[in-house]
Structures are given as structure tokens and as C-alpha cells.
Amino acid sequence: MTPLVVGIDIGTSGARAVAMRRDFFIAAQSAVPLDRFGPNPRDPRTWWQAVQAALAGLLSSIDRATVRAIAVDGTSGTLLPVDTDGRPLAEPLMYNDKVDDGDILAIVAREAPETSAAHGPTSGLAKALRFQRLPGAAAVLHQADWIAGNLSGRFDVSDENNALKTGYDVEARRWPDWVAATGMRMNLLPDVVEPGEVSGTLTTAAAALFGLPRDVVVVAGTTDGCASFLATGATAAGDGVTALGSSLTIKILSDRPISAPRFGIYSHRLGDTWLAGGASNSGGKVLARHFPLARIIELSTMIDPATETGLDYYPLATSGERFPIADPALPPRLVPRPADDADYLKAMFEGMAAIEALGYRRLGELGAPALTSVRSVGGGAANPAWSAIRQRKLGVAFLPALSDEAAAGAARLALKGANEAGLL
């Protein structure tokens, strides 16, 4: 029997699960939308029901006896308070929810180092400070922590990636003293381990619920963003991943941490490497303002990616950029407009490719290694003309992404834990 591990991704719209072999081959996968279980995607009971359904669907197509490990990723910065039995005490604050308590924000701003990811109204620490006021609060957990806790029974452990926005010091690998100086009750924060480290085994109840062996290990997971990066197969310093969705996001593995608050850049720790990146306001949402998807596909077939239009565009939907140029007033640059729609689209592709190239150069200026390869994910990655223009601008190898499923990245962490535990 070929041993398998399972990765679970709980996102904003659904839960996904994949079963992976030791050679990274995905043996099976399953996905379930959150709205199947109720109208409120914030309800932790909805999360857990969706995870149960996705996992049940996955396990129905494989031999359950072959499963050795499970890891979970969740949305970064989503927190919830729980009691001593791990029961939620309030509706979670999601990754993009803002804490509007001025006193909390002022305390964090005063105590947190400039380079900390805990700054701002959406930070995990601001949410934890708010939740600690609830009667009966025994712990404040990240989304992935709570889902994993339902499997292992441990509601006192997190991973370095999820803990970053809550103030954890990933370089010193501890909760820093300044977090306590904010008034945070440190006993409410979880212990933190490396992503991919075994944190427990299935409870008797969880093993029975899913028909799994009792000795299946639960492995510390990560955030959805880090899991998506890992899923591509990028593993070496200098490997880059570009996400071409509604926005344009780039990430690179570095041999050292990169911090640039001006650009909203901080680094997640992945073993002995660091994941740093930035997000531009350019991307697919700009294209969508000018052409419907069908027209973009049609026009792309008319583009010669080997030649230049000579136009110098900086495609933005509205004024303001965050990375690779930090300028809240930067205006869009989309003129002059050629008479031919295909040339106009090509010029926008060129402009976005130039932003991507500048982004990787900027990361290099901040201390990241030179870019050696790029893997692409997101809807724009399927456009051959855009890909050819990008490769010409970047001048490095374009490698296929092994998967664009965050659950596959979580599965890779499950493999790491299972290997280190001698289960594979």
C-alpha cells in the first residue's frame, strides 16, 4: 500500500483536501463550498462542517489505512477566541476585518517594532487584544489552529507563519517581550512550532469520525498564501512565484529575511529559507475594466509577443500603488491608446510585465537573492501571449507550477512531518 498524506485548505469560499504521495503526486482531491452549510462563512461550525465534508469526500476515493499525516492551512490573520474545550466564544474576526478600537491600535503602534507584521487594524495581535476581554477566554487561535485542534484535540499550538501577524518573532523563534507590553495575556497565545512539525495525533473521536487509523499524525500547517507558494514546487532560494489574479502578487524564496514596511513587505519563515513578496495594484482587474474575458482571449491570439509596442504603460484601475512603487497618488498610465485593440491589450501586458520585473528587482535591492526561476499561478498564467512577454522581460526560466491548490502546499508540510516522524 502506497502511504499518503492529506492537506486541508480552509479558505474564504470553501474547504479543499488533497491526498499526496511521497513523490508529490496528487492521488485524489475534494472541494466543498462553505455556503452548502449555511449563509455565514464566518461561523466556525460552517468551517468544520465543510472540512468534514471535503475530507469525507477525499477519503471515500482512497484507502484510508494508507493515510499517515494531515496538515491544515487557513486564511492569514483570521482569529477566534475559544474556551478550555476549544469551543468558540464569539464570531471570528476574518483576515480582512479591522479592529476599530483606537486604544488597541495605539498600543500596538507604540510597542511593536517598525518591521513587525503586527501593525495595522487587520493584524492578528489587534484582534487577540480585543478577544482577550471576553469572559471565559482560554485561548486565542488562528483559523488553521482551530481546525487542526478539532483533529488533534490540541487548542494550544500554532505555526510560525500564522503567528507572524500576531507578533511572533520568527527570527528569534519566540513571542517577544513587547507583545506582553501591549497588555496581551500571554497565556492566551498558542505555543508556536515550525510548519511541518508534528503537533499531535488524531483524537479517538476524530479517528472514528473519518474512519482513519488512530496513529495518524497532525502536522503544523501554515497560511493560505504560504501554502499556495509551496504547492507550486518552489523550494530553493531564488525561486519566484507570480500570482496573476485580480492583482499582481510576487513572492520569492530568500536565504535571509526581508523587511520593508514602506512596501508592506515582511518575511515568513519556511525552515531555513524565507518567503518575501509584495502585491501591486495592477493585474487582472485593470484588464477587466477594458475588455471582457472572451475578448481578452480573442485579442491575445493576435499579439506577437516577440515585438514591442514602444508604449510605456503603468496599468492601474485608479490612482495609488503599494509595490514595487510605494506611492498612494501614483496615477494610471494608459495613454496614448492605439487604434488597434490588440495593440492596446499588448501594451497593458507589457506594462504589467515591467511591473513584475521591477518587483523582483526591488526585492533584490532589499536583500533577496537574484531571481532564478518563475512559476505562475492564477487566471493570467494561462495566457500564452502574456506569458511570453513576461518571460522576455524577466529573462529567467519559467517552470510549471506543480499545483495551484493551497491544500497541496499543506500536504507538502504533512509529508515533511511524516518523513521526520519516520512514517513514510
**236-399: same fold as 4-226+406-420?**
yes
Query: What pLDDT score does 1 carry?
Result: 85
The CB-side HSE value for 285 (13 A sphere, CA atoms) comes to 11
Assess whether pLDDT exceeds 90 at residue 91. Answer: yes
DSSP annotation of 353: H
| All residues at 6 or more sequence positions from 7 whose CB lies less than 8 Å from its CB, including other chains | 17, 18, 20, 70, 71, 72, 73, 227, 407, 408, 409, 410, 411, 412, 413, 414
Cell numbers representing residue 88 in the block:
468558540
Mean pLDDT, rounded, for 161-173: 97
Mean of per-residue pLDDT scores for the chain: 97
Cβ pair 249, 377 in contact under 8 A: no
Assess whether pLDDT exceeds 90 at residue 55. Answer: yes
Assess whether pLDDT exceeds 90 at residue 202. Answer: yes
> Domain extents for the chain?
4-226+406-420, 236-399
Assess whether pLDDT exceeds 90 at residue 320. Answer: yes
CATH topology of domain 4-226+406-420: Nucleotidyltransferase; domain 5 (3.30.420)
Confidence grade of residue 251 (pLDDT, cut at 50, 70, 90): very high
d(CA 92, CA 131): 9
Confidence grade of residue 367 (pLDDT, cut at 50, 70, 90): very high
Give the 3-state secondary structure percentages of the chain, helix then strand then coil, rounded to 5.
35, 25, 40
Assess whether pLDDT exceeds 90 at residue 416. Answer: yes
Mean pLDDT, rounded, for 352-368: 97
The CATH number of domain 236-399, selected from 3.30.420.40, 3.40.50.300, 3.30.300.20, 3.20.10.10 = 3.30.420.40
What tens digit of pLDDT does each residue of 68-80 get?
999 999 999 999 9
Mean pLDDT, rounded, for 299-306: 98
